[in-house]
């Protein structure tokens, strides 16, 4: 099971303040759940920025927008379920300042299996081409094993006063449809469901649910962001909680739910990614005071310039908090603090043999410097070098030095942690310096750019419909750029 989100944010070249002649700005996320009596289902959460919708005057003199939404759920070429409906805005008096979002939620019952969800959205009052996007969904619930739903991030909630699609467990939930939490958002709320605990642990038996925030890069628990709650088995157990993230540093994280038996053994887990921006929280060097450097391999690294370079080499595999130290503290730190940081860094990754872990990584960096170094950067400082060090050697690597477009590479990883089929697209604007930039990736926490083919394209002018129809032709159909980038992306060799 997984939770996916894709953000369809496309601005027309002709966008105006009230949305006239502008492409739709659409946010779609989805999460899977399980109803013991009915089976699995998908909840879809669709938000459309009001000012991106074309409003027309009704017979009553008020303005209203209408969007046609079509959702298809396919297995191979067979349509298993579909929804097609008009989504209407509220009627308004004035279109000068449209500052609301149109929200829609659907529940779609599906049998276990793998699906492709297709979404098409058409503004019925705008002649721009409709947008079509695709995503993959996997459902694998049963009534015998302990199961967790996807984790749903919650923006706000109110007590439910009537039955509705937004109501669960006595509350109406408004989902949070982004993974980005800026500095002014200090609460992260989440909802999930646990199934079959009575079957696995026995009726009315105790078990525990651990909730935590972990570093995406290292998988390490973030201090002070862990709680353990005792539960009693039931047909469905609810997890609805929040963390105060006021002091959580800038970084990439996972919320992790772990269901444990009475011996504290993990039986099942689920996680969801989020990104935090919190520039007011700095790396706390006081946490290094208990790191003893004496008699360790780091005690021999007593040349400040050499040690600084070694620390910089660690940047690609550092956690977000460690990157704060490297970015902002390295220039002013004394030798002792740098030694403590460097030793702690490698002890976090290999408590038994930190020196061995460092040397293995160091020799990898030397190879990266040789292969990916450019005229103005060392290899580990480039995007390709950083991705290689962080994710490892790709399973597939397509190199196109000259295909009518700018030189580019497409890397594919079959598996990385819980993620599958990761792709990275690199290109270089300047053929002479060998500095390939990351244009697009499907990996969590990486840059996502729906117009990546435009970035690497050989043409100087952006096609007018890049934001919608042409993009879909490129990704899901034939290439429109005169090169093989779409083919290489979809079917890596």
Task: State the SS3 of 317-374.
Answer: HCCHHHHHHHHHCCCCCCHHHHHHHHHHHHHHHCCCCHHHHHHHHHHHHHHHHHHHCC
User: Closest Cα to residue 275, out of 305, 253, 298?
Assistant: 253
Q: What percent of the chain has pLDDT over 90?
A: 61
Angstrom distance (rounded) from CA 141 to CA 109 = 13
> Is the pLDDT assigned to residue 485 strictly greater than 80?
no
Average pLDDT over residues 255-283: 93
As to burial, measured by CB atoms within 10 angstroms (0-12 exposed, 13-18 middle, 19+ buried), residue 333 is buried
Quick: pLDDT tens for 281-306.
888 788 888 899 999 999 999 999 99
pLDDT classification of 493: cutoffs 50, 70, 90: low
pLDDT classification of 232: cutoffs 50, 70, 90: very high
pLDDT value of residue 167 = 78
Quick: pLDDT tens for 183-197.
999 999 999 999 999
User: Closest Cα to residue 152, out of 117, 177, 181?
Assistant: 177
Quick: pLDDT tens for 452-473.
887 787 544 444 444 433 333 3
As to burial, measured by CB atoms within 10 angstroms (0-12 exposed, 13-18 middle, 19+ buried), residue 456 is buried
All structural domains of the chain, each given as residue ranges with its CATH number in brackets, are 1-141 (2.60.40.10), 143-281 (2.60.40.2550), 285-383 (no CATH), 394-490 (no CATH)
Report the chain's mean pLDDT, rounded to a whole number. Answer: 85
> Is the pLDDT assigned to residue 314 strictly greater than 90?
yes
Q: Mutual orientation of helices 335-349 and 304-313 as an angle, nearest 10°?
A: 30
pLDDT value of residue 478 = 35
pLDDT value of residue 223 = 86
> Is the pLDDT assigned to residue 488 strictly greater than 80?
no
Quick: pLDDT tens for 78-99.
999 999 999 999 999 999 889 9
pLDDT classification of 198: cutoffs 50, 70, 90: very high
Angstrom distance (rounded) from CA 50 to CA 232 = 44
pLDDT value of residue 3 = 41
Average pLDDT over residues 57-74: 95
> Is the pLDDT assigned to residue 205 strictly greater than 70?
yes
Continuous H helices in 135-189? none
Which pairing describes strands 152-159 and 131-139: parallel, antiparallel, or unpaired?
A: unpaired
Average pLDDT over residues 358-370: 97
pLDDT value of residue 403 = 60
What b/e readout covers 9-44, taking b as 16+ CB neighbours within 10 angstroms?
A: ebebeebeebbbebbbbbbbbbbbbbeeeeebbbbb
Quick: pLDDT tens for 146-193.
999 999 999 999 988 877 777 788 888 989 988 899 999 999 999 999
Average pLDDT over residues 351-377: 95
Average pLDDT over residues 104-129: 92
Place of tokens 């935590």: 212
Q: Mutual orientation of helices 335-349 and 354-372 as an angle, nearest 10°?
A: 100
Residue 470 neighbours by CB distance under 10 Å: 19
Which of helix, strand or coil describes residue 115? Answer: strand
Note the Cα 461 to chain centre separation in Å. 30
Q: What is the distance between the terminal CA atoms of the chain, rounded to a whole angstrom?
A: 28
Greater pLDDT, 78 or 477: 78
Angstrom distance (rounded) from CA 416 to CA 413 = 7
**Residue pair 378/386 in contact by the 8 Å Cβ criterion:** no
As to burial, measured by CB atoms within 10 angstroms (0-12 exposed, 13-18 middle, 19+ buried), residue 161 is exposed
User: Full-prediction pTM beyond 0.75?
Assistant: yes
User: Closest Cα to residue 378, out of 307, 303, 315, 446?
Assistant: 315
DSSP letter assigned to residue 170: T
pLDDT classification of 405: cutoffs 50, 70, 90: confident
Lowest pLDDT segment from 41-45, 344-348, 462-466, 472-476: 472-476
User: Closest Cα to residue 343, out of 299, 396, 386?
Assistant: 299
Farthest-apart Cα atoms in the chain, separation: 84
User: Closest Cα to residue 429, out of 404, 460, 455, 453?
Assistant: 455
User: Closest Cα to residue 72, out of 6, 27, 118, 139?
Assistant: 118
> Is the pLDDT assigned to residue 327 strictly greater than 80?
yes
Angstrom distance (rounded) from CA 199 to CA 201 = 6
pLDDT value of residue 464 = 42
Angstrom distance (rounded) from CA 259 to CA 239 = 11
């Amino acid at each position: 099971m997984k939770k996916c989100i894709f953000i369809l944010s496309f601005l027309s070249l002709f966008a105006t303040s009230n949305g006239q002649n502008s492409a739709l700005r659409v946010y779609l996320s989805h999460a899977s759940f399980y109803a013991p009596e009915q089976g699995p289902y998908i909840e879809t959460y669709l938000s459309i920025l009001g000012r991106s919708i074309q409003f027309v005057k009704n017979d009553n003199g008020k303005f209203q927008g209408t969007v046609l939404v079509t959702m298809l759920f396919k297995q191979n070429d067979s349509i298993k379920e579909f929804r097609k409906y008009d989504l209407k805005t509220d009627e308004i008096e004035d279109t000068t300042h449209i500052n609301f979002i149109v929200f829609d939620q659907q529940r779609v019952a599906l049998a276990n299996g793998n699906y492709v969800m297709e979404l098409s959205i058409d503004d019925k009052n705008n002649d721009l081409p409709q947008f079509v996007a695709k995503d993959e969904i996997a459902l694998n619930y049963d009534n015998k094993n302990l199961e967790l739903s996807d984790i749903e991030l919650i923006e706000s909630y109110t007590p439910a006063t009537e039955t509705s699609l937004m109501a669960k467990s006595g509350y109406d939930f408004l989902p949070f449809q982004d993974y980005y939490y800026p500095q002014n958002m200090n609460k992260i709320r989440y909802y999930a469901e646990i199934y079959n605990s009575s079957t696995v642990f026995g009726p009315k038996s105790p078990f525990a649910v651990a909730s935590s925030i972990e570093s995406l890069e290292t998988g390490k628990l973030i201090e002070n962001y862990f709680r353990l709650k005792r539960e009693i088995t039931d047909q469905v157990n609810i997890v609805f909680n929040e963390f105060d993230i006021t002091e959580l540093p800038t970084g990439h994280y996972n919320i992790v739910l772990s269901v444990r038996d009475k011996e504290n053994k993990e039986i099942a887990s689920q996680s969801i990614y989020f990104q935090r921006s919190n520039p007011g929280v700095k790396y706390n060097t006081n946490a290094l005071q208990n790191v003893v450097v004496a008699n360790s391999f780091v005690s021999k690294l007593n040349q400040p310039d050499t040690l600084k370079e070694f620390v910089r080499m660690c940047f690609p595999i550092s956690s977000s908090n460690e990157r704060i130290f490297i970015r902002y503290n390295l220039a002013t730190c004394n030798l002792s603090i740098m030694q403590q940081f460097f030793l702690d860094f490698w002890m976090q990754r290999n408590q038994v043999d930190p020196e061995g872990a460092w040397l293995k990584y160091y020799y990898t960096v030397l190879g990266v410097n040789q292969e990916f170094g450019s005229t103005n950067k060392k290899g580990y400082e480039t995007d390709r070098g950083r991705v290689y060090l962080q994710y490892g050697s790709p399973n597939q690597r397509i190199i196109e030095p000259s295909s009518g477009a700018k030189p580019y590479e497409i890397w594919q990883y079959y598996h990385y942690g819980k993620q599958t089929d990761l792709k990275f697209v690199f290109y270089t604007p300047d053929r002479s310096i060998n500095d390939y930039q990351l244009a697009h990736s499907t990996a969590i926490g990486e840059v996502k750019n729906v117009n990546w083919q435009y970035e690497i394209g050989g043409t100087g002018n952006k096609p007018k419909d890049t934001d919608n129809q042409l993009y879909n032709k490129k990704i899901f159909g034939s290439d429109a750029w005169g090169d093989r980038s779409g083919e290489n992306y979809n079917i890596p060799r």
